[in-house]
Structure 1
Amino acid sequence: MAPKTMLAQQYDQRDNKIHLNEIPVPEPRDHELLIKIQNASLCHSDLMLFEPNDQGLVLRNNPVTIGHEATGTVVGRGSGEVASKFKEGDNVGFLCAVECCFDCSNCRNVHNLWCVTGKTQMQGFAQNGYFQEYAVVDARAAMVLPEALDVKTAAPLFCAGVTAFHGIQDCELKPGQWVAVIGCGGLGHLGIQYAKAMGLKVIGLDIADQALDEAKTCGADHVFNSMKDRDWKEKVLEITGGGVDAAVNFTASKKSYDDCPAIIKPGQGLLMVVGIPREPLQLNAFDIALGRFRVKGSNNGTCYNMRPAIEFSAKHNIKPHQTLFKLEELPKMIELMNSHKAQGRMGVAFDGGAKSNL
């Protein structure tokens, strides 16, 4: 039985900081599951709460528990039909969209954000997220974990993993083709693993040497520090015989987007937009009109494209490289992410332990 109260790391707009608060444990509605969080991981987009941005984040509750990537164990459920498909003790992962219908064409084929009801909210932003001991999630956005995945370390797959998988898969490349993974950290290190499992040749690009070390560990064929190596673009063109077949940008850096066209193979080369910079992107209409390269987006997943990514991860033994902390250490995790000193993903272990599975 869940306790009455729990600890939660909550963002407070009044001082633009997070605070470890004691709050009530929520009760699941008919369509919801009550989850004992086992692993919650930090995503770069969580930090958008602290930053000026024009990406449409709406803070409806203040303070609000941050975090939108987690896995956990079902300890309660609502009385509705969708919740009854799960049982107590199930280890599950889930996505963070709530209050949408999950059934309209937009929910099924685009993203829950564009639900025709206009009521969608995201846990970790508009609603309490997962850096807390218990959370309610919509059963329609949840799935039981494959046996090959560990509930205590699999949290990053339920945003970063789904995002990275589709960022690579949606390029529609054939085995042996070249892909540039731009940003080899929390998202990119997974993207490299997916690309190699799909038979692609990979160039990793980053400005942090520790991220490039991570890229090598994940199987990248070549890596370049685009800040330190002045000739990296020429080297990429030489290695690939004229440019990569796709450049997948996982970063929030506008400059990295500006650099992409120079390394994409003219003709059918693709720029895949995944990371979201604060500033709007600027693309040369002449390049697009004359077919120098194509532009495509890949979103961070819905309950309809979540399962293929998770099952692929289990089948190919793709796991997030994650350093684990305690809940009270979340400010340290944020500091490490802001300073680009983290490798892979950082998460909270809710069993009281903190270790690394790097």
Structure 2
Amino acid sequence: MTTQMKAVVVAKENATWELQDRDRPEAGPHQVLVRVRACGICGTDVWMARGTLSFQEFPMVLGHEGVGEVVAVGDGVTERKIGDRVGVPMVQKNCGACDFCREQHPNSFVTAANCAAPTLTGVNVDGAHAEYLVADVSGTVLLPDAVTYEQAAPTLCAGYTVWAAIRRADPRPGGRIAVVGVGGLGHLAIQYAKAAGFHVTAVTRTPDKQDLARQLGADVVVADGAALKAAGGADLLMHTSSSHAAVTDAMAGLRPWAKVVMMGIAEDELTLPSLPLVSNSYQIVGSAHNGLEYLVEALDFVARGQVEPVVEVFDKERIAEAYDRVNSGAVRFKAVVRY
């Protein structure tokens, strides 16, 4: 096996993403070496490349939506074997020693935020925008045979996020779900909500996304909270937008005892309408990756053909173009890079 590989390196804040030669990593104890076949570009990658979020020093190899085959296993690995098709999501493992870890929580974004020293793919260790990646075996998930690498990559973060949010919010069977924003998260939220049997309303002010939302399965498409209310309202509002203001506006269409589940990250301030919040007993719920069991479920929806990530696929030599399209908001809806 070659000792070199190609990896995408972000040299400094706002730098062009460049394909460079790097030493291929080796699998240590309890680790697997994955030959990466595809990796998606997430909004979190963009925020880190811009310096808006900072978890490690530049230069960085980003990417937490990596999928491929196991090509080597380290000492003590029994859960995976060479040839397994796997995904490596962001949270690989916790430190196991801090006060938070001693409480024995499942690995999730809460682990990432509260563990003293978590291992986070493409965040504080090298990520999957490379030909090879090492990962703790506990931070891998088997891919269904029916799911292609191009489908699996965006499911590892965007699909995982929205499905875990629906599960965490626990809407009543047959309830009404509204999705604010039709983008990388939103286009999948519409599909998962519809596949799970809910009435789905898409909330978007972008005219060319309205027909797309209907094609993705939305029963109704509206532009704002007033129109959402007129269309029957929502029991669950899914925040997948890059605008907190859009979500606050959409809350005008909530039904009594509704929930707002927060997934989208935005730079504007979130201002909540206090009187309606109190008067209607609304609940605001934070959610991201809530345990690997929900990722397994999210992948199964894709395997059954009930959810189809909409992707633009780029060869690794076009990485700079792929990043630029994501950074500018031009990509529909997820960029996936082949390695």
Instruction: Give yes or no for TM over 0.5.
Output: yes
Specify whether residues 130 and 246 from structure 1 end up closer, same or farther in structure 2 by C-alpha distance, changes over 3 A only.
Answer: same
The aligned counterpart of 2:186 is 188
Residue 260 of structure 1 aligns with an amino acid whose one-letter code is A
* Cα separation, 2, equivalents of 1:308 and 1:323: 24
Does the 8 Å CA contact 1:323/1:345 hold for their aligned counterparts? yes
* Cα separation, 2, equivalents of 1:39 and 1:213: 29
* Cα separation, 2, equivalents of 1:173 and 1:193: 16
The aligned counterpart of 1:303 is 292
Unaligned runs of at least 5 residues, structure 1: 227-231, 351-358
* Cα separation, 1, equivalents of 2:45 and 2:79: 30
The aligned counterpart of 2:9 is 10
- Distance apart, 1:109 and its partner CA: 6.8
- Distance apart, 1:333 and its partner CA: 1.9
Of 118, 121, 124, the residue aligned with 1:120 is: 118
Residue 59 of structure 1 aligns with an amino acid whose one-letter code is Q
Does the 8 Å CA contact 1:196/1:219 hold for their aligned counterparts? yes
Residue 79 of structure 1 aligns with an amino acid whose one-letter code is D
- Distance apart, 1:128 and its partner CA: 1.2
Tell me whether 132-141 or 300-309 shows the greater mean CA deviation.
300-309
The aligned counterpart of 1:35 is 34
Of 137, 144, 152, the residue aligned with 1:154 is: 152
* Cα separation, 1, equivalents of 2:333 and 2:212: 7
The aligned counterpart of 1:248 is 238
Does the 8 Å CA contact 1:101/1:115 hold for their aligned counterparts? no
Does the 8 Å CA contact 1:95/1:159 hold for their aligned counterparts? yes
Measured on the aligned residues, the alpha-carbon RMSD in Å equals 2.3
The aligned counterpart of 1:354 is none
- Distance apart, 1:77 and its partner CA: 1.0
State the Cα deviation string for residues 269-328 of structure 1 (Å, max 9, x = none).
111101111244222444433335211111124335322332344345323121210112
**Is residue 2:74 matched to residue 1:78?**
yes
Report the 3-state secondary structure (helix = DSSP H, G, I; strand = E; otherwise coil) of the residue aligned with 2:135: strand
Aligned length: 334
* Cα separation, 2, equivalents of 1:208 and 1:333: 22
* Cα separation, 2, equivalents of 1:52 and 1:43: 15
Does the 8 Å CA contact 2:93/2:107 hold for their aligned counterparts? no
Specify whether residues 105 and 320 from structure 1 end up closer, same or farther in structure 2 by C-alpha distance, changes over 3 A only.
Answer: farther
State the Cα deviation string for residues 129-174 of structure 1 (Å, max 9, x = none).
1111111112101122122212343111111111011122323223
* Cα separation, 2, equivalents of 1:278 and 1:126: 22
State the Cα deviation string for residues 168-194 of structure 1 (Å, max 9, x = none).
232322343221111212111111111
Of 291, 296, 302, the residue aligned with 2:280 is: 291
TM-score (norm 1): 0.85
Of 33, 52, 55, the residue aligned with 1:58 is: 55
**Is residue 2:84 matched to residue 1:90?**
yes
- Distance apart, 1:337 and its partner CA: 2.2
Report the 3-state secondary structure (helix = DSSP H, G, I; strand = E; otherwise coil) of the residue aligned with 1:155: helix
Q: Which of structure 1's runs of 4+ aligned residues deviate more than 6 A?
A: none
Q: Percent identity?
A: 26
Residue 314 of structure 2 aligns with an amino acid whose one-letter code is F
Alignment of 1:13-28 (within 5 A): 13=12, 16-28=15-27
- Distance apart, 1:207 and its partner CA: 4.1
* Cα separation, 2, equivalents of 1:294 and 1:127: 35
State the Cα deviation string for residues 219-268 of structure 1 (Å, max 9, x = none).
111223x4xxxxx433221211xx21111011221222321321211x21
* Cα separation, 2, equivalents of 1:26 and 1:41: 21
Residue 25 of structure 1 aligns with an amino acid whose one-letter code is R
* Cα separation, 1, equivalents of 2:242 and 2:120: 20
